[in-house]
Structure 1
Amino acid sequence: MDEKQKIATTIYRPKGQPRAIFQISHGMAEHRLRYAEFAQNLAQLGFVVVTSDHRGHGGSAASPEELGYFNKHKGWQKCVNDLYELMIQVKQEYPDVPVILFGHSMGSIMARSFVKRYDALLNGLILCGAPNYNPAASAGRIAAKSIIALKGDHYRSKLLDQLVQGSFNKQIPNPRTPLDWLSKNPDNVDAYIADPLCGFRFTASAFDDMFYGIQDMHDLMRWNLKNPKLPILFIAGGDDPVTGGRKGLESSAATLREAGYDDIEMRVFKGLRHELLNEKEKDQVAAEILDWTARKIGGCADLRTEQADQ
């Protein structure tokens, strides 16, 4: 991490020897504390859960003006490196413990940039609400760089925001708010809107970084494949406009298969939207995650029994 860059982190620790490390990479314009309930439940089941705010998010933003801004140079790469350095620190504390990386939405794009470089560190990868590759990312970078040249890297462009998120709510019938695409749970949507650390507009620089990330997760030329047997799970809401639907999910999975991974599964939850962990059916979602973990991650086979006993 940069010498001057603080990365806000919360680690939830279980009693006794942990069964696995579960590191969470959160989504765009949100923060780590929104995963507290999920993390606490996992910790009770024996996981070390590592949550951190990406640069320009939550407690990692030095001021409100820095929300939605990663870094002046190579912000995306620095966010991915933050995940790497934090993982190394936790692995040093818990050697020989399996590691699962969980990425939600934009965090799943970062997770794919991470696995492209560091898959040997992982024993499992979970991609939640994962955006599919969009070839328009190239045009997005050109637009973002033009805006940066004219307005500066901290400028917040409505055009870029519409380019990324403008179509999502149009896919929701009779929306109550502009953010109904996030969740069919109205309490969750209202809480997101009321949270001052959620929903901010990205800077032109951060949009450029994210467009780079979309390109990077799809570029197989520089993929450092070390762990082709890595188990990968996609989870998504059936009504999530961010993933590109079933076709988009299949495309995302196909990219990873082409990169060399052969153990990829998919769970689609009918009627749910983007933030699966905040839907009213979140217990069902968590049960599916734990079932997959019990089958795929060493030392977790008894998870289903322990969950039933709680």
Structure 2
Amino acid sequence: MQNFKFKTKKGMTINAYKWVPTGEIKAIVQISHGMNEHILRYDGFAKFLSEKGYLIYGNDHLGHGKSLLEGEELGYISDDDGFNDMVDEMKTLTDIIREEHKDLKIFMFSHSMGSFLAQRYIEIYRDKIDGLILSGTNGQPPVALNMGISLSNLIMKVKGRREKSKLIEALSFGSYNKKITPKRTYFDWLSRDEKEVDKYIEDPLCGNLFPVSFFHDLYIGMKSIHNEEDLQNISKDLPIYIFCGSDDPVGNYGKGIVNLNNIYKRLGIRDVEYKLYEGGRHEMLNEINRLEVIIDILNWLEARK
């Protein structure tokens, strides 16, 4: 694993890594991680794919891990449009990868928040990548999205973009544990593997209370994904693989990825498929059946590299 840094078009410094296979490189996978975590949580997954001949790149999104603006806390992305700033940061990394490896296919693996960034990415940047994997995602805006936009906007007007609100966090995640019994922790909805949940809780770079501006920009960005004109801009030749657990609240317990699959098929995308893992929760890469999940991803990549 090699650590490096790059700058966005706005001059923000991004912390990144790459995992280089020892032999011939089959293709490249760029990882886009989720909210309130960091790229090194994907180290095991990246090492597995690297051992199979894939060159892996990934970065800490703005406001996450070691990609923090000077003087800012975790979760503060930027002063105006954090969602699209993260999308642009992903595009900058793709450009770096393409400059270094002009003849290799680039696939993007994206999870949770990262998957919503990726959904926006393929609407704006039509021909940058050669395939997309969406994990722990959804194809319909959350019911409370407009309420979240209004409430977060009000709080920011009164107290600024750096204000933190447990009310906003509860609106976003408060119901995620409701179907789990018995409840052991606030983050049981992430995985059935208690060790993985505990690792998340014990990680100082995970599970923090983010500022209101993060949620506001995320809500606005998630709403923008569903603009019909932008959806039509997605390449019909882009292979897309969607998956989540049947007990994943982010994916509306499986309904969300079915909806997203149907949207992409309606658009005329030729190679789109989904898989629902029975009993799985939000982080399928950290689930009790994670080897099955990773092998399914590998098989999908092998068929399209």
Into which bin does the TM-score normalised by the smaller protein fall? over 0.9
Query: Contact conserved, 2:247 with 2:254, CA < 8 A, in 1?
Result: no
Cα distance in 1 between the residues matched to 2:232 and 2:80: 23
Deviation at 1:294, TM superposition (A): 1.9
Deviation at 1:108, TM superposition (A): 0.4
User: Would you say 1:141 and 2:149 are equivalent positions?
Assistant: yes
Query: Contact conserved, 1:117 with 1:224, CA < 8 A, in 2?
Result: no
Deviation at 1:254, TM superposition (A): 2.4
Which structure 1 segments of 5+ residues have no match?
A: 299-310
Partner of 2:31: 24
Residue type of the partner of 1:31? H
Deviation at 1:257, TM superposition (A): 2.8
Q: CA RMSD in A?
A: 1.6
Partner of 2:174: 166
User: Would you say 1:41 and 2:45 are equivalent positions?
Assistant: no
Residue type of the partner of 1:53? D
Cα distance in 1 between the residues matched to 2:74 and 2:279: 32
Residue type of the partner of 1:155? E
TM-score under structure 2 normalisation? 0.93
Moved more, 192-201 or 274-283: 274-283
Task: Evaluate the alpha carbon distance shift between residue 3 and residue 213 of structure 1 in structure 2; reply closer, same or farther with a 3 A threshold.
Answer: closer
The 5 Å alignment of 1:277-292 reads: 277-292=285-300
Query: Contact conserved, 1:24 with 1:51, CA < 8 A, in 2?
Result: yes
Cα distance in 2 between the residues matched to 1:268 and 1:64: 41
The 5 Å alignment of 1:1-310 reads: 1-62=8-69, 65-133=72-140, 134-223=142-231, 225=233, 227-295=235-303, 297-298=304-305
Cα distance in 1 between the residues matched to 2:203 and 2:36: 10
Cα distance in 2 between the residues matched to 1:3 and 1:85: 11
Query: Contact conserved, 1:225 with 1:260, CA < 8 A, in 2?
Result: no
Identity of aligned residues (%): 36
**Alignment: residue pair count:** 297
Q: Deviations over 1:164-220 (max 9, x none)?
A: 101100121211111100010000010100000000122111101110121122112
Cα distance in 2 between the residues matched to 1:203 and 1:69: 6
Cα distance in 2 between the residues matched to 1:113 and 1:227: 13
Which structure 2 segments of 5+ residues have no match?
A: 1-7
Query: Contact conserved, 1:119 with 1:226, CA < 8 A, in 2?
Result: yes
Residue type of the partner of 1:41? F
Task: Evaluate the alpha carbon distance shift between residue 158 and residue 239 of structure 1 in structure 2; reply closer, same or farther with a 3 A threshold.
Answer: same
Cα distance in 2 between the residues matched to 1:263 and 1:288: 16
Deviation at 1:225, TM superposition (A): 2.4
Task: Evaluate the alpha carbon distance shift between residue 241 and residue 226 of structure 1 in structure 2; reply closer, same or farther with a 3 A threshold.
Answer: closer
Partner of 1:305: none
Deviation at 1:65, TM superposition (A): 4.5
Cα distance in 2 between the residues matched to 1:220 and 1:19: 35
Cα distance in 1 between the residues matched to 2:57 and 2:236: 24
Deviation at 1:226, TM superposition (A): 5.6
Deviation at 1:16, TM superposition (A): 3.6
TM-score under structure 1 normalisation? 0.91
Greater fraction of residues in helix = 1
Partner of 2:5: none
Deviation at 1:262, TM superposition (A): 3.0
Partner of 1:303: none
Task: Evaluate the alpha carbon distance shift between residue 64 and residue 280 of structure 1 in structure 2; reply closer, same or farther with a 3 A threshold.
Answer: farther
